[in-house]
Every structure is written in C-alpha cells, then in structure tokens.
C-alpha cells in the first residue's frame, strides 16, 4: 500500500477529513441560526446578510481566499486581533483551512436549512406555543426536529464541499504538506508535475470514495429521520 | 368575569367585531360556518393579534391594543384544541400528550394522564406516530394534549366533530367534570345544540363576525326569537332540577319546581342540582291528564305565549311551576285543541326521551 | 529543524527529491508548499511562515523584496528554462521557429495552447517570443490560455490542441507530445527561477538548504528534469 | 351490484378484513372512530393498495390483488371528499373547484358549477385561497370539488362533520338528489344516525376492521340487536309510506299500511314513495286512543316482542299494519301498563317530531 | 468609464452573464427531473445517480474540468460523437463554459429542488389523482407549483455558482478572451500579475453586484410565490 499511496498523500487525506469534519461541525449551528433569521426574521439588514452569506458562492474561490487572507492573515485586522486577544492564528494553519472550507460551504448549508425551515408548518409551532413552549423551546422541540432532514442535507453538502474545496484554501493557507495540504491541494500538486497524473487519480478515487460514503450515510440517516417524522 | 373579550379585526373581506364577557364555567361560541368563531378563539389564544381590542382572563390582561400589550401565547397558559388536530408528526402519541406537561408549572393542578388516556381510549395508540392514526384518533390525542398541559383556560374548537356518538358521550361528562372539579373555564366552539345544552353556562351567538346575543345559556335557548339561529329542531328550554332519589328500576327521580320528573339513571348524589334540556319537539300537550300511557312525566302547566311559525308549526311557551318550557306543536293542534294563553293543561314527557345527553350539572 | 520552502508548482518533482535527500543527510525536515508563484508571493507578503521562496518569475520575487521580506544578499537566479513548441503525439516533424513559421497552417483550425499570456510567466514569455517574430497578431485569436503550463501541456498531450508552447522542463516527461522546436533564448526575456532566503528564516538549517540547492547533487536532479542550471 | 368490496390489509397493530356489496344508491359506512372506515374508502379510491382483495365498481375491476391488478386512482373517476379538506393551497377556491373538471371527459354528465357554488354558499369566496378560509368553508369547497369532477362514484368521508346544522340541512337533500337524478352512487362515512337514516340505501356496520353487518338500511336500523352499535338513542325503525296529499296548514298526509300519518310539508309529489325514520324514543304508547292531545298521529298497533335492557328501558317491537315499529319505554311503564306480546294498543307520534331530516326518498 | 474597466473585462462580464444564464436555464429541467427521481423514485441505480450528481461538489473543480475535457473534448468519446452527429463542439467554446458551469452547479440545484419535493404533502397529490389527474398532470398542476420556491432557489444557486465558477471552466475550455474568458477567469488573470489587484477588485465588485441583484430578484420572486401558496 505504501507504494500505492505516497505518505504525504495519506497525510493529506487525513487532514482533509479533519478539516471537513470541523468545518461542518463548527459552521452548522451558525448556519442554522442564519437560516432561521433569513427565513423568519424581518429586520433591516436581512438583504445584506443574505448577500453576505452568498458571497463565497458568487465569487471565484481564489477571490474568497484572497479576501480571507486580507482579513484573517497575520497582518489582517481580524487575524491580528484574534492573535493578540486569544492567541489564535488561522493563516497557514489547518485551522485556517477549516475556516476557508466552512466559509465556502456556508451558502450551501444555509440554503438547504432555510428551505427546510420554510417548509415547517407554522401551525405546529403555534400549537407548541399554546402548550407553553417559549420561542426557544418551540425551536428545540418542534422546529429543529422537523428541519433535521434539511440540516442533515446541509451538513452533507458542507462536508462534500469541504472535501473538494481548493481555490480558497490554497490561497488562504497555502499548500504546506502535513499542515495545510488538503486532498484537493495534493491532487493539484500531483497534477502540476510531469507524470503525476496517476497519483492524482488515486487521490481522486479516495476523495470520491469518502464523499460517497458520507453521502450514503446521510441518505440513510435522512430516511430514518423522515420515517420518524412520518414523511412519505 | 373570567373572560372579557372585546375585539375588532379586519381580514379584508370579513370584519370581526365582537364583545362579550364570560363568567366561570363553559362559554359556548355558537354560529354558522364562517361566522368568526375560530377567529375569536385565536385572539384569546394570542395567535391572532387583533387590530383593536382587549382580552382579559381571570383578571389578567392578555391583549390590550390601546396599550400595545400582547402577551405571547406561551405565557398565557391557555390550552387550545384546534379545529384540526395539529399533532406533532415527529413525536409519538405519548410524547404529544406529554408535550405541554413539560412546560407547565410543576405544582399546578391538573388532570392525571392515566385518567385522560383511558377516557380518550388512547392506551393502545401511545407508541404510534400521528401519521398512523385515524381522523378521530388524532382529534382525541389533541384533546388530551391540551387538557394535560394544565391550562388556566381551555379553548376547544369543535373538538368532538370528528367523534362518534358513543365516544362523545364519554367525553362530554368528563368536560363537565373538568369544569366543576378543576374549576377550569372553557371557551367552546360548537355547531351542536346538544353540546350547547349539555355544557354551556354562557352562550355567545355569533353571526357574521358580530355577537348576535350573549347571556346565560338556559335563557337564550328558551328564547323563541332565537329559534332560527339554533335551527328550529334544536330548540328547547333548559330547566333546573334537583336529584331526589335513585329508584330500583334504574330511574332517577328529580324534583323540579313543577313537580317530580323521572329520567334514566343520573350518576349524581341526591341533592345535586342539575340542568335539564327539554327539547321543544319532545313535549306533547294534553287537555286532560292522560291515563294509561307510557310517558311517565306528566306535569300541569299554563300557556304563557303562542308563537305561530311560517310553516305548519307553532311554539307554545308554558309556565310549569315557575320554569319556562317550550313545546313545538302543529298549528292544527293549536286549533283543534283550542289552545290559548292563560289556558291550563298538561305536558307529557317520556322518561327516556330526556336522555342523559341533555342533562348537565349546574 | 524544519525548513519551509514556498516553491513554484513546476519544481515539485525535482525539489521533492532534493528535499528528501537533504533531510536524510542532515536530519532536518524540509516542507515544501507548491502553488503558483503569484499566490505564494502574496501569501509571503501576508505573513506566511516561509523560510525560502523559489519563484518562477522575477517579478513576483520583486514584489516580495519590495515588501522587505527578502534577505537581499541571498537572492540569486537558481535555474533557467527554455521555451519549446510542442505538438501532439510522438515523432511530430520538426519546424523552423522564425518569422516564416506558418503557425496557423500548422494549427489547421486547432488551438495553440499556452499558459495565460498576461499573467502566468510561461505565457508571458511565449507571447513575447511570438511577438519578437511578429507571429503574435496572426495567431492570437487561436490561442487557448490554460491556467498554468501543466494544463497547457495537457491540452496538447490529449490532442485537444495540436500545438502548445511550454517549458522544456515540462515537455521532458510527457510522452504524449514531441518537441518540434525550441525558441531562441533571445526571443524572450531570460527565463529565470530566482531563489532567496526570507527575513523570517531564523536557523542555520534554512541557510544550509539554500546552499544545498546549488550543489552538484541538486544540479543533476534539476538538469534531469530539463531545467537549465544557472551558475 | 354497483360496488363489490373485499379487502384484507394488515397495518401492523390493526388488521382490516371486510367484504360487502353495495347496490345503487347511498351506502353508508358506519362505525366508531378507528374502526377502519377511512381505510376502506381509501382502498376503493385506489390510494390504499390492500394486501389482498378485490374491488369492483359498476362491473369494472378496480383492484384485484390475485391478478396483480390495481387501477391507478386517476383512472377510476371516483370523486373523494377526504376526511380533512386537502385543498390545493396554491389555487383559489374557484380553481380548486374547477380542478377536476379539467380532467373529466367533456361529455360526461355532471352537476352545474353555478348550482353547486350556490348550494355550498361559496359565491363570495371564489377568489380566496384556502389559507383564508374557515374550517367549514374549506370542507364545503372540498365537497364541491369532488362533485364537480363528474365522478362515476362519490366517496365522502364524514363530509358534514365540520358544518352547522343549517348548512347540513341544505346539503343533505342535494346529496339525495345527486343519488336520484344523476344516479350517482355514493359511499358515505358517517357517525351520525340521522345522516344514515336520511341517506342510506345500504348500511355497512364496521367494527374493529370487520363488517359487523351489512344490508338494507331500513332493516338494519330496526334491528334491536344492533341497537348498541348505533347507540341506544339513535335506534329507530324505518317505515315505508306514500305521499297522499299536501294540506292547507302546511302538513303533508302520508299513507302507510297502518293508516294516515301527518308530517311537516314534504317536497314530493303525491304518489311518491318515501322512507320515514321513526326514532324509538319518539314513540309513546297508550292503552286507549288518547283524546285532546297535541300528537296528531295515533295508530293502532299490536305488540310483537318486548326486550328488556340492562338499564331502566325496554324496547317494544310493534306490528303496525304490517310494518315494524320500535318504541323505547321504561320498564316501569311496561309493568304499570301491563304490556305483553299480543296486546293491542295505540302508538302516538307527534307530527313535528317526525322532522324532515328523518325522511328520504325511496 | 472606459478607463475604469478595460474593454476585455466588459466582454468577460457579458460572457459570464450569458454563460450563467444558459447554464441555469438548460440545467434546470434536468435538475427537476433528477430531484424528483431521487426524492420519489425507488429504482436500483438510485444511489449511483445520487453519487454521480454530487461528484462535482466533492471533486476539486480542476478535476471536474479535466474529466469534462476527457469526455467532451474533441477527442473525447462524447465530444467526438456530439461533433459528428450534431456538429456541436464544446471544447474551447463558450458553450463548453456553459456545460462546465451547469455541471458544477448541478448538485446545488438538485439538492434545493429535492428538499422542496420532499416537503410537498403527498396527500395533495393523492387528492389531485382522485380528481382525474394523471401522474404527469399531478406534477404539472400540483407538485410543480408547490416546489416553485425550491426551483427558484435552485436556479439562483445555479446562477450564482455559474457566475463564480472558475476551476472547471478554465480547465475545460481554457481562457480565450471574448470566447471563453468568463468574469472569474479575468479576475484570476488580474490577480496573477503584480499590481493587478485593483482591476481585479473592480471586476469582483461587478460580480458581486450582478449576483446580489439576481439574489434580490429571487428573494422577491420567492416571496411572491410563497404568498400565493399561502406559506407564512
Ligand atoms: N399506517 C398505519 N399504521 C398503523 N395503524 C394504522 C395506520 N393507518 C391507520 N391505522 C389504524 O387503523 C385503524 C383504522 O383507521 P381508519 O382511518 O380507517 O379509521 P376510521 O374508521 O376512519 O376512524 P375515524 O372515524 O376516527 O376517522 C385505526 O385504529 C388506525 O389507528
Ligand atoms: N386570512 C384571512 N383572510 C380573509 N378572510 C379570512 C381570513 N381568515 C379567516 N377569514 C374569514 O373570516 C371568516 C371567519 O373565519 P373563522 O375561521 O373565524 O370562521 P368559523 O366561525 O370558525 O367557521 P367554521 O365553523 O367554518 O370553522 C370566514 O368567512 C373566513 O373566510
Ligand atoms: O469552483 Mo471552485 O470552487 O474553483 O473551488
Ligand atoms: Mg372554525
Ligand atoms: Mg376516518
């Protein structure tokens, strides 16, 4: 197997899994919140928030990466503040790859969850309120369980996107083996040298296998959840 | 007053403008389809925020648009059985039933879950999800869910419409008991005069978004002028009586001011006061005291008024020992028998036609 | 100790080997981040933790130097390269590169594959070379600009484009193409891969690796990959 | 037979296993909540694909699991008024009503939209969307939508449960007319004995997923053994009569085999045969012909059987000129009057207690 | 203005609009079909189809572009067949950019529509069937109107993604000014030369403006549709 896959590639696979996992897990609660705000909220900055969330989708990934670098780089306003206040550095660290992946996946996740929120029958939420549930409790006991399939879809989309994200990541955190070289960066690196195609292909296959596995898992979970909710 | 409602709301195409006060007990909103009953109940629940108005329950201001006040539904502790079941699809029947309990104050008085589950016949359904329930089963769960949330006030929007007569006859007495034992005030929407007679302390007649008449149920139901609103067939007086004795052959003797009445066994202790609905169409009049008939209840009465209808019928109002009774007879009988106000005669009621559904505690 | 090198993508094969050898010999670890020179330069300016930068073009090294991040005396041109015209398939006939080259005739409706001619160095050199022979105007509409040289080469290898202009070093290892001509080195600005130590580099290992890059062992590896070793 | 149904389906926790045949006319499925009525109707509509069974309507095989045959719902031309309205939220009331017409064969016979809209009181709602309708309004639109799709067979699952008595009294005669004029067979789910008596040609009593009894409605409703199934209070015999004359004072005289009967005006031509439901609790017995009473209908009868109940009541079956009548009296009256089979006496019926709701064409 | 925006940039803006429009319009019907199949279908290859649809999300865009090149290039099996049978060439043409954008956007569109399909109450479809509507008519008269908000969301996602797509496009159709140089390619080109930031920024702003415009339009349309359906 060692011959089949160069050691740095194995590292990249592992790193990508870690990055995608954290990007998914960390962005999900925020995505749910933003989706709720966009679906239900009536506040002045709503259009702006909506636009902001979609920016990573609209912009070429390289631009997003570049903007991240400007903001979260060591010298960037947010980056230096994070560094000074909390000792957190994102640029050129795997944590930065998490940020890049999360940002790139964010519009997809929010959209998926938002669609689910909009499909929840507000009459059920009213019923819960008459039974004494506060807005937060209505959300936790009624809305959240009902949008679970959408959240699941959002999570899978986020994970899949994170596994494939390249442009923003390489621009923001570079392509440092063992630290920021994700699977797509490794594929890119192999593709850019003569004779690297074969190694790249192997990595592509691994990437496909992982993502399809996640997808199948999500489909299955989705079906379980849907059956519980009583969907068809 | 337990409940003071004053509302104005414009739906665009339909305007609601109602005002009524309801004392303790069961207040029934009665009116035709589309008259605004659900809208009133929604406003009390806090789901509809009226354009203008004030809603108070047990001295607490729930909504007061003049002061910009609108208590959110979850702070009202008002149980609501919606017109459609609205069960939570992701929860089992047991979880649906327990939902409100979760949020109710621990020490609040409330019905026991086991009791409610048995009453509503839900034992074998507890593990199911709403999708696998029949229409009536869903509605029963919704009733249980609202009752078990330990509300201070219960709103019920045609809760029994989807149920069969037998189940309805089981649930109605229980609602009466809720009213009495827990002192739980109920605002009840109904199309059924039987339910009104049985449950209503107060009756609010709604027509086209306005209150046609509101007041004590017994009084309104014996008002010939309101007959068309109830539907002629539903007309009937309500008289007060007291349980005198339970007799061996399964009958219960009641004493009303007009005399003794025998009815099928009533599950109330002697001395209990109750209300008895006597449908106008169940009363037969006789000039002489009838002998050798199967009707057990024969009381002397005096005609106080006769109101001829457009059709073949006439309504005869009778004073029967101080209580008002209504009899619906044909105009032919009025002529043939020579009926006229002031005349003394006898009313004849079958013991069994005064069915338990027409009686309620008072 | 760790040596972090930011290097242009096309150097990967050679540098990986040199880095591994250096690591074995000294016990230091060499970590190399490959990307486009422009990205790497931007990142270094933004504070990337790199010790050594090997750019594929002078201008991006200049940018880093302008930011004061280059240790000036360590900057030198490490490698050179040649620009070649490649054709699809093995054994394509040689052509004479000059003013009379009938590129459009050779393309016969196909595209001339190059790296992006305004931004990627290989594309810029190629455009300059074609201009020097007065060929650019005529062929410009038929030029397909790939994101980088590797992709340009790949288009030719797949036969999507009949001809392409790439580095000699890239053409070496691609069996799907044959070099049909080499652009004279005076037809375009000198192709150079400048290298420099960055101000963030602290320890001796960084300087040692910089030195190792111009030692004979490294020279051999670079040469085998088709690079011109500058001395 | 217009409709032959034979079904077995296991829901896991509830097993359905029914078989019945229904001739032309209205077949009512009667049974308690959760007994399987909706499931049967769903199978006829093609929405439920039973584990085993065969469904035929008007000679066409709709489902035959043995042959793996299952006609999809849209090919069945079966109108279905669901237990809940199921209106299309994206369409206006008018569009909802017109939906089925779109797909119906152009030349098929069907009711006129204007007629239906007026009947159901939907004129002012046509431009609205379902969200802005009250519960009863939604149900009325659903009824109209099904009727206007020009079906060959109409399924109605408790269509009137959400409606007030007045509206119900408007719609019921119309359904009768559909049955007669368009010859539209109807499979009707109901909890209400009144609706059954009024509409049912055939009655199918369902209990726990099985057919307890099926047959002509008149016969089943006069069967004392089935009394508990209907609820005691709902018990009543159905007798045949013929319209004899419409009299000046608004009464209609009927001739039954037992003699003349006066009832409130019936909108049928003299000579028409009709069915008359006489609730057991509306019948009073008298040993001698009563004089000077408001009850107009007094007929001689002979006791054929007496069945004492567990409670205070007894059912007396009477032969009244060849037709069977049921009377519900107290056991005390049975004793007091000395009632026994073979005895001749008189039955007393108030003209107005035989309300139009209890009559239907035959 | 001419000084503000180089003419080739204007061409790129125009081309991107055209590419995104057609990528959206052409992929939408297929996306609806696939979403329906995935949401409702029970057929053997369902998991495979699902995986296939998601590949462009999972894979680094460059790889997708490369695979497109292999399949749809002049010498690719599909590409040569299209060329011979219909005279359609995709490689190095703006039509190829449309294909690349459509493929990259496809998983997002399908997911959005699928969520909507799953939220449609099958009871309404049953009701339509009892009223005589065939499966096709049920779809056209009930399902489609009800999923319209989801289709709209899918279309916006597709358009936005198409406006920002870079990796797959440049790999598949290269960067030929006036023919295949989309807005992201132009931005990339500017970012790749020292001092090109400012020109790149201008293009980025144009890109943002266009996409936010589309977004606002979609939000507005969505609200109109939702109000018609009677959603909250
Ligand atoms: N999917 C299911 N899984 C399990 N049980 C089911 C399912 N669907 C229906 N049932 C059960 O089948 C029984 C019959 O249901 P059905 O809806 O036919 O009753 P019904 O006679 O129409 O009752 P109602 O008058 O309350 O509407 C009920 O007890 C119900 O709980
Ligand atoms: N959002 C709305 N827009 C316009 N009209 C509305 C809206 N909501 C309700 N209405 C109208 O208000 C009237 C009263 O509705 P409401 O639901 O209160 O009636 P209801 O008395 O409960 O009737 P039902 O017995 O049929 O349930 C109806 O005519 C209804 O069409
Ligand atoms: O379309 Mo991409 O994102 O180049 O990652
Ligand atoms: Mg209502
Ligand atoms: Mg049912």
Q: Domain coordinates of chain E in residue numbers? A: 7-230
Beta-carbon-side half-sphere exposure of residue B94 (alpha carbons within 13 Å): 7
Other beta carbons less than 10 A from residue A18's beta carbon: 14
Mutation test residue for ligand 1: of D7, D18, D33, D36, the one with most atoms within 8 Å of CB? D36
Contacts of A65 (CB under 8 A, 6+ apart): A100, A167, A168, A169, A170, A171, A172
Contacts of D92 (CB under 8 A, 6+ apart): D126, D127, D128, D129
**Between residues D158 and D223, the one the model is more confident about:** D158
pLDDT at res. D25: 87
For chain A, say whether C10 makes contact (Cβ under 8 Å): yes
Contacts of E133 (CB under 8 A, 6+ apart): D74, D99, D102, D103, E141, E142
Asked if C110 contacts C142 with a C-beta cutoff of 8 angstroms, the reply is yes
Residue D107: pLDDT over 90: no
Other beta carbons less than 10 A from residue C133's beta carbon: 16
d(Cα D153, Cα C190) in Å, to the nearest integer? 90
pLDDT at res. D241: 84
Q: Which residue has the tokens 């959760």?
A: D34
pLDDT band at D345; cut points 50, 70, 90 = very high
pLDDT band at B164; cut points 50, 70, 90 = confident
* Tens digits of residue pLDDT in B222-241: 776 776 677 666 677 778 88
d(Cα E89, Cα E99) in Å, to the nearest integer? 11
pLDDT at res. A2: 41
- Tokens standing for residue B119: 């009453």
Contact A54 E112 (CB under 8 A): no
Residues of chain A with pLDDT under 70: 1-4, 228-232
% pLDDT > 70, chain B: 94
pLDDT band at E2; cut points 50, 70, 90 = very low
For chain D, say whether B15 makes contact (Cβ under 8 Å): no
- pLDDT mean over D138-158: 92
Element (H, E) at B331: helix B331-337
How deeply is E2 buried, as exposed, middle or buried, from its count of CB atoms within 10 A (0-12, 13-18, 19+)?
A: exposed
Residues making up chain D, counted from first to last: 362
Residue E1: pLDDT over 50: no
Long-range CB contacts (within 8 A, 24+) of E192-196: E192/C36, E192/C38, E192/C116, E192/C119, E192/C120, E193/C38, E193/C59, E193/C118, E193/C119, E194/C38, E194/C41, E194/C59, E194/C60, E194/C62, E194/C63, E196/C119
Class of domain E7-230: mainly alpha
* Tens digits of residue pLDDT in D186-223: 999 988 777 787 788 899 999 999 999 999 887 787 77
Asked if B353 contacts B293 with a C-beta cutoff of 8 angstroms, the reply is no
- pLDDT mean over E69-83: 88
For C226, phi then psi, to 5°, come to: 95, 10
For D258, phi then psi, to 5°, come to: -85, -15
* Tens digits of residue pLDDT in D42-92: 999 999 999 999 999 988 999 999 999 999 999 999 999 999 899 999 999
- Tokens standing for residue E34: 């696939």
Element (H, E) at D15: strand D15-22
For strands B26-31 and C83-88, give the pairing. unpaired
Distances (CA, A) of B43 to B60, B73, B264, C169, D30: 15, 10, 41, 80, 37
Binding site membership of A166 for ligand 3 (Cβ less than 6 Å): yes
CA-wise closest residue to B166 among D135, D31, A163? D31
For chain E, give the mean pLDDT.
88
For C89-115, b/e burial (b = at least 16 CB within 10 A) is: eeebeeeebeeebebeebbeebbbbbb
Measured by CA distance, the residue closest to atom 17 of ligand 1 is B134
d(Cα B199, Cα B222) in Å, to the nearest integer? 15
CA-wise closest residue to B80 among E96, A123, A163, D109? A123
**What is the C-alpha R_g of chain C?**
18
Examine chains B and E and say if they touch (3+ CB pairs below 8 A): no
Contacts of E196 in chain C (CB under 8 A): 119
- Tokens standing for residue D38: 């909706």
Rounded to 5°, angle at Cα B41 from B40 and B46: 100
For chain B, give the mean pLDDT.
86
d(Cα C125, Cα E168) in Å, to the nearest integer? 25
SS3 state at D190 = strand
pLDDT at res. D355: 52
**Is the Cα dihedral B197, B198, B201, B204 positive or negative?**
negative
Contacts of A140 (CB under 8 A, 6+ apart): none
CA-wise closest residue to B55 among B2, B99, B118? B2
Residues of chain C with pLDDT under 50: none
CA-wise closest residue to E90 among C160, D188, B113, D198? C160
Q: Which residues pair with C87 in a beta bridge?
A: C163, C178
Its pTM stands at 0.85
| Domain B236-361 sits in CATH 1.20.1250.10 | no
Q: Which residues pair with D256 in a beta bridge?
A: D259
Residues 132-191 of chain A whose Cβ lies under 8 A from any Cβ of chain C: 170-171, 174-181, 188-189, 191
- pLDDT mean over B136-146: 92
d(Cα D254, Cα C80) in Å, to the nearest integer? 119
First to last CA, chain D: 18
**Between residues D357 and D264, the one the model is more confident about:** D264
d(Cα B73, Cα B50) in Å, to the nearest integer? 14
* Tens digits of residue pLDDT in C163-214: 999 999 888 878 889 999 999 999 999 999 999 999 988 788 999 999 999 9
SS3 state at B78 = strand
Most confident of C95-99, D230-234, E218-222: C95-99
Contact B102 A132 (CB under 8 A): yes
Name the closest residue on chain E to residue A170, using Cα atoms: E60
For chain B, say whether D286 makes contact (Cβ under 8 Å): yes
Please, where in chain D does CATH 3.40.50.300 lie? Answer: 3-221
**Between residues C108 and D230, the one the model is more confident about:** C108
Please, where in chain D does CATH 2.40.50.100 lie? Answer: 236-361
% pLDDT > 90, chain B: 40
Contacts of C147 in chain E (CB under 8 A): 62, 167, 170-171, 175, 188
Asked if A109 contacts A58 with a C-beta cutoff of 8 angstroms, the reply is no
Asked if B145 contacts B97 with a C-beta cutoff of 8 angstroms, the reply is yes
Would you list the DSSP string of chain E?
-TTTS-HHHHHHHHHHHHHHHHHHHHHHHHHHHHHHHHHH---TTHHHHHHHHHHHHHS-HHHHHHHHHHHHSTTSHHHHHHHHHH----TTSHHHHHHHHHHHHHHHHHHHHHHHHHHS-HHHHHHHHHTT--HHHHIIIIIHHHHHHHHHHHHHHHHHHHHH--HHHHHHH-B-TTTT--HHHHHHHHHTSTT-HHHHHHHHHHHHHHHHHHHHHHHHHHHHHHHHHT--
Contact D352 B281 (CB under 8 A): yes
How far does the centroid of ligand 3 lie from the alpha carbon of residue A60, in Å?
Answer: 7
Contacts of B295 (CB under 8 A, 6+ apart): B284, B348, B349, B350, B351, D284, D333
pLDDT at res. C85: 95
SS3 state at A122 = helix
Strand order across the B236-246 sheet:
B259-264, B251-256, B236-246, B273-279, B359-361
Which letter does DSSP use for residue B351 in this model? T
pLDDT at res. E33: 95
* Tens digits of residue pLDDT in B307-331: 887 777 888 889 988 888 888 888 8
d(Cα D82, Cα D155) in Å, to the nearest integer? 8
pLDDT band at B66; cut points 50, 70, 90 = very high
pLDDT at res. A105: 93
Other beta carbons less than 10 A from residue E86's beta carbon: 8
Alpha helix segments (H runs only) across chain C: 12-26, 37-45, 58-66, 103-107, 121-132, 136-139, 149-157, 168-172, 204-212, 216-224
d(Cα C177, Cα A146) in Å, to the nearest integer? 58
- pLDDT mean over D24-50: 93
CA-wise closest residue to D329 among B286, B348, E225, B170? B348
d(Cα D161, Cα C3) in Å, to the nearest integer? 82
Residues 296-315 of chain D whose Cβ lies under 8 A from any Cβ of chain B: 296, 311-313
Task: For domain D3-221, give its CATH number from 3.30.70.270, 2.70.98.10, 3.40.50.300, 3.40.50.1220.
Answer: 3.40.50.300
How far does the centroid of ligand 2 lie from the alpha carbon of residue B5, in Å?
Answer: 18
User: Between A61-72 and A94-119, two packed helices, what is the crossing angle to 10 degrees?
Assistant: 120
SS3 state at B314 = strand
pLDDT at res. B211: 94
Residue E116: pLDDT over 50: yes
3-state helix, strand, coil in chain C (%, to 5): 40, 25, 35
Q: Which residue has the tokens 């998991």?
A: E47
Query: How far from chain centre, in Å, is Cα A60?
Result: 17
pLDDT at res. C132: 94
Binding site membership of D132 for ligand 2 (Cβ less than 6 Å): yes
d(Cα E84, Cα E82) in Å, to the nearest integer? 6
């Amino acid at each position: 197997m060692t011959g089949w896959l160069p050691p740095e590639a194995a590292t990249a696979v592992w790193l990508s899994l870690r990055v995608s996992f954290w990007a998914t897990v960390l962005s999900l609660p925020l995505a749910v919140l933003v989706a709720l705000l966009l679906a239900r909220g009536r506040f002045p900055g709503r259009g702006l928030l909506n636009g902001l969330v979609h920016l990573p989708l609209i912009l070429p990934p390289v631009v997003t990466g570049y903007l991240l670098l400007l903001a979260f780089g060591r010298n960037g306003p947010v980056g230096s503040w994070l560094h000074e206040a909390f000792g957190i550095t994102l640029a050129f660290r795997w944590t930065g790859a998490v940020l890049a992946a999360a940002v790139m996946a964010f519009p997809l996740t929010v959209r998926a969850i938002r669609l689910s929120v909009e499909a929840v029958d507000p009459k059920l939420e009213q019923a819960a309120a008459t039974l004494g549930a506060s807005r937060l409790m209505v959300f936790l006991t009624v809305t959240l369980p009902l949008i679970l399939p959408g959240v699941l879809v959002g999570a899978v989309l986020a994970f899949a996107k994170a596994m494939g994200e390249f442009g923003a990541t390489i621009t923001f955190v570079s392509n440092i083996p063992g630290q920021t070289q994700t699977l797509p960066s490794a594929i890119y690196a192999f593709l850019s040298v003569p004779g690297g195609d074969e190694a790249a292909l192997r990595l592509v296959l691994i990437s496909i296998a992982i993502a399809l596995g996640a997808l199948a898992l999500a489909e299955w979970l989705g079906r379980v959840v849907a059956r519980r909710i009583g969907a068809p | 007053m337990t409940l003071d409602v004053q509302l104005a709301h414009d739906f665009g195409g339909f305007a609601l403008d109602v005002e009524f006060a309801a004392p303790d007990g069961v207040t029934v909103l009665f009116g035709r389809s589309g008259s605004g009953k659900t809208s009133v109940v929604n406003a009390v629940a806090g789901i509809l925020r009226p354009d203008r108005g004030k809603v108070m329950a047990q001295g607490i201001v729930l909504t007061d648009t003049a002061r910009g006040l609108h208590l959110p539904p979850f702070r009202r502790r008002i149980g609501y059985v919606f017109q459609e079941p609205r069960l939570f699809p992701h929860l089992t029947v047991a979880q649906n039933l327990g939902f409100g309990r979760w949020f109710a104050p621990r020490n609040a008085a409330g019905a026991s879950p086991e009791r409610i589950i048995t009453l509503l016949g839900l034992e074998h359904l507890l593990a199911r999800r709403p999708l696998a329930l029949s229409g009536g089963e869903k509605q029963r769960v919704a009733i249980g869910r609202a009752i078990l949330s330990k509300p201070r006030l219960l709103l019920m929007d045609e809760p029994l419409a989807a149920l069969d007569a037998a189940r309805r006859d089981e649930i109605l007495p229980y609602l009466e008991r809720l009213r009495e034992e827990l002192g739980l005030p109920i605002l009840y929407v109904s199309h059924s005069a039987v339910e009104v007679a049985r449950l209503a302390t107060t009756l609010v007649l709604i027509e086209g978004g306005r209150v046609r008449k509101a007041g004590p149920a017994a009084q309104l139901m014996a008002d010939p002028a309101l007959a068309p609103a109830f539907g002629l067939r539903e007309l009937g007086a309500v008289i007060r009586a007291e349980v005198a004795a339970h007799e061996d052959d399964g009958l219960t003797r009641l004493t009303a001011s007009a005399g003794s009445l025998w009815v099928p066994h009533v599950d109330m202790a002697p001395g209990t006061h109750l209300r008895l609905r006597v449908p106008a169409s169940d009363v037969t009049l006789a000039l002489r005291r009838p002998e050798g008939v199967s009707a057990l209840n024969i009381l002397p009465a005096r005609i106080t008024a006769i109101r001829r209808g457009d059709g073949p019928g006439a309504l005869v109002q009778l004073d029967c020992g101080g209580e008002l009774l209504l009899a619906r007879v044909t105009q032919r009988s009025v002529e043939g028998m020579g009926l006229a106000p002031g005349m003394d005669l006898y009313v004849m009621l079958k013991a069994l036609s005064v069915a338990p559904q027409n009686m309620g505690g008072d | 100790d760790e040596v972090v090198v930011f290097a242009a993508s096309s150097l990967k094969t050679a540098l990986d080997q040199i880095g591994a050898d250096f690591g074995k010999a000294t016990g230091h670890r060499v970590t190399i981040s490959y990307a486009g020179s422009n990205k790497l330069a931007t990142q270094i300016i933004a504070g990337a933790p790199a010790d050594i930068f090997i750019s594929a073009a002078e201008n991006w090294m200049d940018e880093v130097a302008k930011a004061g991040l280059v240790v000036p005396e360590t900057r030198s041109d490490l490698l050179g390269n040649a620009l070649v015209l490649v054709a699809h398939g093995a054994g394509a006939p040689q052509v004479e590169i000059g003013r009379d080259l009938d590129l459009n005739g050779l393309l016969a409706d196909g595209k001339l594959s190059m790296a992006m001619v305004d931004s990627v160095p290989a594309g810029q050199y190629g455009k300059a070379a074609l201009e020097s022979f007065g060929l650019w105007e005529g062929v410009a509409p038929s030029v397909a600009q790939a994101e980088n040289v590797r992709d340009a080469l790949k288009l030719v290898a797949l036969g999507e484009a009949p001809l392409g202009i790439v580095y000699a070093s890239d053409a070496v290892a691609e069996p799907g193409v044959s070099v049909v001509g080499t652009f004279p080195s005076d037809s375009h600005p000198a192709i150079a891969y400048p290298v420099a130590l960055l101000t963030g580099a602290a320890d001796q290992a960084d300087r040692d690796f910089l030195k190792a890059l111009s030692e004979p062992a490294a020279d051999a590896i670079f040469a085998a990959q088709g690079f011109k070793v500058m001395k």
